Amino acid sequence: MLKRRSFSSTGDEMPLMRLTDCVAKTIKISDDLIIKGADVLTHCLITGMVAKEMIKRQPQWLRDLLYPEGTELLAAVHDAGKIFPSFQKKIHKALRSPEFPEGQELGIANPVLNIRHEAVSHATFYNYSRFIPEIVGRHHGYSPESTGMPDDEIFGGAHWQKMRLELVEYLKNALQTDLPVIKSAVHADVLSGFLCVADWISSGAAFENITAEMIGKPNFYNQIVSAVDTAGFVKPKLKKGLSFKSAFGFQPREIQLRLFEIADDSGIYILEAPMGLGKTEAALYAAYKALEQERATGIYFALPTQLTSNKIYERMNKFLSIILEDDGPHRKSLL
C-alpha cells in the first residue's frame, strides 16, 4: 500500500501527497470548467498496455529484431517525471471544477521555470542501464535541454524520487516484466519513436476518464484493442495469390521477373532501367509478395518532390484497391 509522504525543499511545511494523487492529464470541458483526467499511475499503465498490444501485432521476426522483453515497461514509465512538485502544483492550479474551485493550489512547491517533466523523467533513470534515460526523456520527440540528478532539490529531492521509483515498481508488477537491455544508439532511436506513438495513443480521448479501478475490469482490454485499431495499427486484409497481370493488366517483363526472384528477403534492392519499363510496378508487386508472405507489414513509398508524391498517391490508391479486400480498413494510402 502506498503511504502518504511529505517533503520540503525550503524548510516550509508541505502538504501530504500520495502517488495516486499525482495527476497526469486535465480535460477542458469549457473555458470555465477544467477537470482532472487520468492520474500518472493510470496513464502510465495504459501506455504500457497499449505498447504491449502494438508489439503483439507485429510479426515474430520483427518483434525479435526490434522489441526486447520489457519494451512495454519502458513505454509505461515515460511520465514518471510528472511526479514532480512543480508539475503537480501547475496542473492542480489549472483545474477549475467543483473539486478544485478557482484553481485551488496544493502549495507543494514554487514552480521552477523552464523545467519540463521530460527532464525529470530523464533524471529519474540516471542510475539505470545505458539508453534508458535518453529514451524516456525523449517521449515528446526531442531530448530535454537540461537534466540533473534524481535527488536534486529542484526535482523534489529524495522523497519525490522515491515516489517516482514506487511508480516504476508498481508498473513492473502490473506488467510482469523488467526494463529492457538496449544495445545500440540506433535501437534506442527506434524505441524512442515507438514510445512516442504509444504515448500518443494512450493520451487519446478513449482514455480521458479512465480510473485505476476501471483498468481492473475484465472488458477493459477491449478499449486498448479498439484504440490501437483506431490509430491504424491493423493488419492489411490482402487478397492472396494475385498474379502480376491481374494487378497491372499486362505480363511482367524480364527485368521485373528478375526482381521478383531475388527480392525474397529483407534488404535493399535497386532496380535501374529506362523510363517506361515498369520500375514502379515491379517495386509494388515485390512489396505485395512480401506482404502476402508476411515478410512485411506495409508499404512506404518515398519520393523527392510533392509533384511526384501526388502522382504516386493516385497510382498507390489504384493498386491498393486491387490487392486489398473490399472490407479492409486501408484501401486508401496516406500522403
CATH value of 19-230 in 1.10.3210.30, 1.10.1040.10, 3.90.660.10, 1.20.1260.10:
1.10.3210.30
**71-87 pLDDT tens trace:** 999 999 999 999 988 88
Per-residue confidence (pLDDT) for residue 7, from 0 to 100: 38
Contacts of 245 (CB under 8 A, 6+ apart): 251, 252
- The counts of H helices and E strands in the chain are 14, 2
Q: What is the mean pLDDT of residues 274-302?
A: 92
pLDDT band at residue 106 using 50, 70 and 90 as cut-offs: low
Residue 13 has pLDDT above 50, yes or no: no
* pLDDT for position 105: 57
Which pairs from 299-304 meet CB under 8 Å and 24+ separation?
Answer: 299/333, 301/333
Q: How many Å apart are CA 331 and CA 335, to the nearest integer?
A: 13
Lowest mean pLDDT among 119-123, 177-181, 186-190: 119-123
- For the chain, which residues make up each domain, given as ranges? 19-230, 244-323
Find the helix or strand (DSSP H, E) in which 9 lies.
Answer: none
Determine contact, residues 320/331, Cβ cutoff 8 Å. Answer: yes
Of 121 and 142, the one with more pLDDT: 121
Q: Quick check: 272 pLDDT over 90? A: yes
Query: 90, 99, 92: which is closest to 117 by C-alpha?
Result: 90
In angstroms, rounded to a whole number, what is the distance separating the alpha carbons of residues 302 and 333? Answer: 13
Cell numbers 506513438: residue: 197
Phi, psi (rounded to 5 degrees) for 324: -105, 145
Q: Measuring CA to CA, how many Å separate 168 from each of 79, 176, 230? A: 10, 12, 28
- Pinpoint the alpha helices (H) of the chain: 40-56, 60-66, 71-76, 85-94, 117-124, 132-137, 157-175, 185-202, 212-215, 220-230, 244-248, 254-262, 279-292, 306-323
33 Cβ contact partners less than 8 Å away, ≥ 6 residues apart: 96, 97
**Contact predicate 179/128, CB 8 Å:** yes
As a whole number, mean pLDDT of residues 152-173 equals 92
Instruction: For residues 286 and 266, give the distance between their C-alpha atoms in angstroms, rounded to a whole number.
Output: 12
Name residue 197's beta-bridge partners: none
Copy the grid coordinates of residue 127.
542510475
Q: What is the pTM of this model?
A: 0.80
Q: What is the CA radius of gyration of the chain?
A: 24
User: pLDDT band at 97, cuts 50/70/90?
Assistant: low
Of 329 and 74, the one with more pLDDT: 74
| First vs last C-alpha separation in the chain | 49
Q: Cα separation of 79 and 23, whole Å?
A: 11
